[in-house]
Amino acid sequence: MGSDAPTRDAAESVDFVQVQSTEQFKELRKRHRSFVFPMAVAFLLWYFAYVLLADYAVEFMSTKVWGNINVGLILGLLQFVSTFAITGWYVSYSNRRLDPIATEIRQGIEGHEFDKDGVAVSGGKK
């Protein structure tokens, strides 16, 4: 039944400092940060470049490309495309490079590899 307590057990006696210093965890952190940080910088730069163009390069943005479709509209729609693309890319990256290693570490912890006192606790899954 719904109480808030039981789910905490598995993690209570874990030595997190030890987990944090394992090569496996460092690898997970490196993989996560080396994807999300450059990507965040990239899309923010691209977004602000677009806003600056719309703000200060009105003539360029108003150039007609095809019929009534101008550069501004195309760049705006490309913002949609890049957002969808980054979303898809991140999901596939997480599935391949992040989730498996995160699961491995979690199972290691739940299997009591990192208990401070070495005593098995209830609630952990084998």
Partner 1 sequence: MIAIPAAVDVAALKDTTLLNMGIFGLFVAVTMVIVFRASRNNKTAADYYAAGRSFTGSQNGTAIAGDYLSAASFLGITGAIAINGYDGFMYSIGFLVAWLVALLLVAELLRNTGKFTMADVLSFRLKQRPVRIAAAISTLAVCFFYLLAQMAGAGSLISLLLGISDWGGQALVIIVVGALMIMYVLIGGMKGTTWVQIIKAILLIAGAAVMTFWVLAIYGFNFSALLGGAVETANNPAVLNPGLQYGKSDASKLDFMSLGLALVLGTAALPHVLMRFYTVPTAKEARKSVVWSIWLIGLFYLFTLVLGYGAAALVGAETIKSAPGGVNSAAPLLAFFLGGPLLLGFISAVAFATILAVVAGLTITAAASFAHDIYASVIAKGKADAETEVKVARRTVVVIGVLAIVGGIFANGQNVAFLVALAFAVAASANLPTIIYSLFWRRFTTQGAIWSMYGGLGSAIILIALSPVVSGSATSMIKDANFALFPLSNPGIVSIPLAFLLGWLGTVLDKNREDTTKQAEMEVRSLTGIGAEKAVDH
Q: Which positions touch partner 1 (CB under 8 A)?
A: 1-4, 7-8, 10-12, 14, 16-17, 19-20, 25, 28-29, 32-33, 36, 39-40, 43-44, 47-48, 50-52, 54-56, 58, 61-62, 66-70, 72-73, 76, 79-80, 83-84, 86-87, 90-91, 94, 99, 102, 105-106, 109-110
Q: How far is residue 97's CA from residue 27's CA, in Å, rounded to a whole number?
A: 10
**Please, what is the minimum distance in Å from the beta carbon of residue 67 to partner 1?**
3
Q: How far is residue 118's CA from residue 115's CA, in Å, rounded to a whole number?
A: 5
CA gyration radius for the chain? 24
Cβ partners under 8 Å of residue 71, min gap 6: 60, 61, 62, 63, 65
Nearest to partner 1 of 118, 125 (CB atom): 125
